[in-house]
């Protein structure tokens, strides 16, 4: 009798035990620039209002209704409705079952781009809320680009291009899009001289490849080092496609910029990596470029910067 009661208790415990959500295995990021920009502007505009509308919430609601495509009309509708009293669950009804997936996906892809920061100008620290990530190419340097994610590549083996190419001039300063920790540096037969930076929340891995021959990296940069958004990390080049180091085997000078999403550490350095099309994200960042200059000590940013959302990683410490 006791054994039967114990067995029933164990079965009941299993039935009522919360089921852990399975990690996301794939993200097809299709949010167009216009929708990203509109959702971001609504987030910024409502930041100090009684009801702050997160751009992640806006995009997640729109994605549930559009199969992830987030057209501008669906984004505008979502933003307007979220301004009211209804929750995403009330707005979506049966479609709410997709909300968790899209919200987590968009948070992983965009979570570090918007937030609170300070920039020093004329000796004063000016605090702001808004777009705090930067274009990978420093201010004052021209480049061209197109959406080339997924096109064929054949060096080594036939595969798809899992990044975004930005064509420019040799030596163009490349900056960290977002603050994070340098996780990889050195030579890769495909990417040539490259840098990998992990975001502070560990969700995003930024990959900067085909850096300049002979002097690819910013002076003093090392694996394990903390960098801030907008810091110079390296210089554009055309290295790669070679087992031999420091070889220019890429035909066109450009930066290969890759964005990998990581929901679980088992998705790093494996065949199930999640790389997303960053073209529209780069377009969003085009209007926010880091001003840098070369000094006797090396490259530095014109306006010192602090990320207030991650003050523990700030080289200058807390500001309050």
The pTM of this model reads: 0.90
Q: What is the pLDDT of residue 94?
A: 98
Q: Locate 302 and state its tokens.
A: 């014109």
Residue 14 placed within a domain? no
The H-or-E segment that residue 193 falls in is strand 192-199
User: CB within 8 A of 153, min separation 6: which ones?
Assistant: 159, 160, 161
Same domain, 193 and 86: no
Q: Locate 304 and state its tokens.
A: 């010192």
- Cβ atoms of 103 and 39 within 8 Å: the answer is no
Q: What is the pLDDT of residue 134?
A: 98
Residue 5 placed within a domain? no
Q: Please give the tally of structural domains in the chain.
A: 2
Same domain, 233 and 278: yes
Q: Which residues of the chain have pLDDT under 50?
A: 1-20, 317-320
User: pLDDT, tens digit, for every residue of 152-171?
Assistant: 676 666 668 789 999 999 99
Domain that holds residue 163: 132-313
CATH number of domain containing 206: 2.70.70.10
Same domain, 222 and 189: yes
Q: Locate 193 and state its tokens.
A: 């001289």
Tell me the three state secondary structure of residue 106: helix
Place of tokens 């085009």: 286
User: pLDDT, tens digit, for every residue of 280-291?
Assistant: 999 999 999 999
> What 8-state DSSP symbol labels residue 301?
E
Integer CA distances (angstroms), 93 to 79, 86, 98, in order: 17, 11, 10
């Amino acid at each position: 009798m006791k054994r039967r009661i114990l067995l029933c208790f164990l079965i009941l415990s299993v039935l009522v035990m919360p089921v852990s959500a399975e990690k996301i295995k794939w993200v097809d990021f299709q949010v167009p620039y216009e929708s990203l920009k509109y959702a971001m502007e609504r987030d910024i505009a409502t930041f100090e209002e009684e009801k702050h509308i997160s751009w992640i919430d806006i995009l997640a609601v729109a994605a549930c209704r559009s199969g992830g495509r987030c057209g501008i009309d669906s984004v505008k509708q979502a933003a307007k409705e979220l301004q009211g009293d209804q929750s995403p669950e009330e707005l979506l009804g049966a479609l709410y079952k997709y909300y968790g997936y899209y919200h987590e996906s968009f948070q992983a892809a965009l979570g570090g781009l918007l937030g609170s920061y300070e920039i020093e100008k004329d000796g004063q620290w000016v605090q702001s809320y808004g777009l705090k990530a930067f274009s990978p190419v420093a201010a004052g340097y021209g480049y061209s680009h197109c959406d080339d994610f997924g096109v064929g590549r054949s060096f080594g083996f036939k595969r798809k291009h899992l990044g975004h190419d930005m064509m420019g001039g040799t030596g163009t300063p490349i900056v960290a899009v977002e603050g994070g920790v340098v996780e990889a540096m050195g030579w890769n037969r495909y990417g040539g001289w490259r840098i990998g930076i992990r975001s502070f929340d560990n969700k995003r891995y930024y990959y900067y490849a085909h850096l300049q021959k002979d002097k690819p990296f910013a002076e003093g940069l090392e694996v394990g080092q903390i960098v801030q958004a907008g810091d110079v990390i390296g210089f554009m080049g055309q290295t790669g496609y070679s087992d031999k180091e420091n070889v220019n085997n890429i035909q066109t000078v450009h930066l290969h910029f890759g964005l990998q999403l990581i929901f679980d550490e088992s998705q790093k350095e494996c065949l199930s990596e999640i790389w997303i099309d960053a073209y529209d994200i780069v377009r969003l960042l085009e209007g926010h470029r880091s001003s840098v200059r070369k000094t006797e000590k090396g490259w530095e940013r014109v306006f010192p910067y602090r990320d207030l959302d991650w003050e523990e990683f700030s080289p200058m410490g807390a500001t309050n």
